[in-house]
Chains A and B, each alone.
Chain A
């Protein structure tokens, strides 16, 4: 028998904690089955994942490094999604953002370093936003679907960057498609530097100060979406465009603003990659983070508080997964792409598979308690 459940009676922790956890557990069980079929012990694999991502300082640092990237791209997707725009162009926006970082860092090298950092962040944001502007304009004015245009802009960004990296901004002293390295004083302090400051010696890991920027970006998004007039208007347009027009809120303006902020946040990924890790633009540095960010945002219910743990989870999978593929010969890198896929499937597409049952279970249980 089916009956309509009174949504207002479902406690927040059931829909926002229990349901995602159940979905995640199921996804892990199915993934375990994959590993079993591939001829390895799932239990051992889990142990390796946990050891790889938490077991030693550098491993944990790697986990947080991946988390940083996922936070940026997850936030980027979430902001656009609040205006019901499916921005899948994070990949391209991040890539072009890198160009902004590099140009700022090269051209303003006469300024004090902290100022260059701030300008680089602005550069990453502005270049990422600019790359999102054209699809945004086309959506707002011409109704060209943002999914189509942003994915095409990923390819354009990729081709453009290959051209630039080969013919224009390549380090001409060598043949690889990357730029010259930035001066050492511009490199963001790494986790290793932080540890050394406190007298702890650890080995290299890519984790750097961008992680703090990611946390700041999360706060920024939370404040923007829920505490400001702009967030209010963006959400109004996203939920009910007709009502927005009635209230004098311009859908056109808000689509553009949402996409600019979204593109800008995606652009910030390049702060981590260009200023923090590679210290130059290398070809293809967004490496799929833009796409995984979609899953992170959906899993995190497009809220910074949800995006952080979701990004962390994917960080664990990335780092722990590489540990597993290293130690288990039967498990390839692609296996972990499949595991990611299963998690996305269960927490995204099948998100409502067990939701009604779980919610009504808890509502009934609470009702019974209330009666007693």
Chain B
């Protein structure tokens, strides 16, 4: 007997100009494991945060077991039997497992009888679902996998019927993943419902009975897992909208301008994210780097641009070794050597939003003439220059003195793009060149990149937009799990083939 436990209809949610969820309709049946798959930024986490009461939808209704409910806070969701296991755990590190679980639900001023009772209940739950958690251990002593179990146990104890897991395997080792899946299956057998948010196709195929695919804030498909396969899901995830037409002549490939050998890079948590990467970019060539977000592209870009330490391996610029594990040129020195970097997360990294537009337009070049001389900023020169590039790149409004935070997202992007492209770099590293940029600007940016290539620049284009990679690149490499898993010449590759490479299927 299939009965819906959670029904969402016409959910909409916007953050400023970004429409994160558009008319979402979703029905989740009781006693199933329902997968929600999509790329990062597709709106999965926003949608689930609405269901959990962290955000309020702008419009739309939510029904639990047929009753319409009004979710104002996570407390409301908990009362309606919805539990969530976040990507980043919500646990008090120096409390014990038991203390964390009863937190907010202690029910008495001085711990005593209730706590004892809770302990007995929890032990029973642990046995039923094979959770195997020691209630008296302190969270900071537990491994990540066990902390996740504590989160699950917490939701169980609070009477959750629906469990939302947001990218639960991102932080786990393969063995821990197996254990987690066992637990999830036993939850399902006991009649609980699980919503699994992920961008990993394997997990969907292994675990779920139904799957919904999200792309750019919309649900683009529902299907039974049995009725689909990884290839089809990958296609749906990446999308197949019309390719933008680019006037692109054949490249005149020059010598190797940029070369990376055996590069290993670790992230802030000391986990290797770039695993032995080799690549070469020739002058007059755009090398596209495709891959699902979170497969090491960010760390690779940061290492190549001098922001992140290189664990081992070497980087060469025009045959000259510029970085290895002992010696890392800083971004300013790299800029002087003609390497420009447009970061993926531009608002966070590429701009100081509390600066005037003109100040951001020279950011990173501020100690070069004519913008400053003898360490004194040349304001009139900066102003004239700003006026000119803002005209050229159609930044609106054209007021160099306006605070950057007062520009719209798209125009902030243009500020960064114009700053970096205006210097006519010999080597350009660019992450997500058109993320958050309107259609008109996309074409302009693409044309600029092609022009730069024709003038002999070596360009590394990192993008999760497959269409973009396909329409701009001369050569394409695919990154999966920190490794380069394939290299193709653009002419003889299909987006389907790339999609499979990106998903780590072949």
Q: Is the interface of A mostly helix, strand, loop or mixed?
A: helix
Residues 296-351 (chain A) with a chain B CB within 8 angstroms: none
Known contacts A8-B403, A247-B332: does B355 contact A242 (CB below 8 Å)? no
Known contacts A227-B376, A236-B352: does B406 contact A7 (CB below 8 Å)? yes
Chain A: residues with Cβ within 8 Å of the partner, total of 22
CB of A368 closer than 8 Å to a CB of B:
no
Q: How far is the CA of A6 from the CA of B331 in the complex (A)?
A: 35
Contact between A8 and B331 (Cβ–Cβ < 8 Å)? no
Contact between B352 and A239 (Cβ–Cβ < 8 Å)? yes
Contact between A243 and B348 (Cβ–Cβ < 8 Å)? yes
Which residues of chain B come closer than 8 Å to A8, judged between CB atoms?
402-403, 406
CB of B350 closer than 8 Å to a CB of A:
yes
Contact between B354 and A232 (Cβ–Cβ < 8 Å)? no
Known contacts A8-B403, A242-B348, A247-B331: does B366 contact A232 (CB below 8 Å)? yes
Contact between A239 and B353 (Cβ–Cβ < 8 Å)? yes
* In the complex, per-residue mask of B336-360: 1 if CB is within 8 Å of any chain A CB, else 0: 0000010100001111111100010
CB of A353 closer than 8 Å to a CB of B:
no
Taking the nearest CB of chain B, how far is it from the CB of A232, in angstroms? 6
Which residues of chain A come closer than 8 Å to B377, judged between CB atoms?
227-229, 232
Which residues of chain A come closer than 8 Å to B410, judged between CB atoms?
none
Contact between A247 and B363 (Cβ–Cβ < 8 Å)? yes
Which residues of chain B come closer than 8 Å to A250, judged between CB atoms?
330
Q: How far is the CA of A239 from the CA of B350 in the complex (A)?
A: 12
Contact between B307 and A245 (Cβ–Cβ < 8 Å)? yes
* In the complex, per-residue mask of B367-380: 1 if CB is within 8 Å of any chain A CB, else 0: 10000100111010
Known contacts A246-B331, A246-B343, A247-B364: does B376 contact A240 (CB below 8 Å)? no
Q: How far is the CA of A235 from the CA of B352 in the complex (A)?
A: 9
Contact between B355 and A246 (Cβ–Cβ < 8 Å)? no
Residues 215-242 (chain A) with a chain B CB within 8 angstroms: 227-230, 232-233, 235-236, 239-240, 242
Contact between B403 and A235 (Cβ–Cβ < 8 Å)? no
Contact between B349 and A246 (Cβ–Cβ < 8 Å)? yes
Taking the nearest CB of chain A, how far is it from the CB of B336, in angstroms? 9
Contact between A229 and B406 (Cβ–Cβ < 8 Å)? no
CB of B306 closer than 8 Å to a CB of A:
yes
Contact between A230 and B350 (Cβ–Cβ < 8 Å)? no
CB of B335 closer than 8 Å to a CB of A:
yes
CB of A199 closer than 8 Å to a CB of B:
no
Q: How far is the CA of A229 from the CA of B363 in the complex (A)?
A: 11
CB of B497 closer than 8 Å to a CB of A:
no
Q: How far is the CA of A232 from the CA of B363 in the complex (A)?
A: 9
CB of A114 closer than 8 Å to a CB of B:
no
For A245, the closest partner residue in chain B by CB is: B307
Taking the nearest CB of chain B, how far is it from the CB of A185, in angstroms? 37
Taking the nearest CB of chain B, how far is it from the CB of A235, in angstroms? 7
Which residues of chain B come closer than 8 Å to A112, judged between CB atoms?
none
Known contacts A230-B375, A245-B307, A246-B331: does B352 contact A240 (CB below 8 Å)? yes
Q: How far is the CA of A61 from the CA of B307 in the complex (A)?
A: 54
Residues 187-232 (chain A) with a chain B CB within 8 angstroms: 227-230, 232
Contact between A235 and B355 (Cβ–Cβ < 8 Å)? yes
Partner of A240 from the list B305, B307, B330, B353 (CB cut-off 8 Å) is B353
Q: How far is the CA of A247 from the CA of B423 in the complex (A)?
A: 14
CB of A143 closer than 8 Å to a CB of B:
no
Q: How far is the CA of A236 from the CA of B377 in the complex (A)?
A: 14
Known contacts A6-B406, A240-B352, A243-B350, then 4 further A-B pairs from the complex at CB < 8 Å, ordered by chain A residue: A227-B377, A239-B352, A239-B355, A248-B335
Residues of A within 8 A of B (CB): 6-8, 227-230, 232-233, 235-236, 239-240, 242-250
Residues of B within 8 A of A (CB): 305-307, 330-335, 341, 343, 348-355, 359, 363-364, 366-367, 372, 375-377, 379, 402-403, 405-406
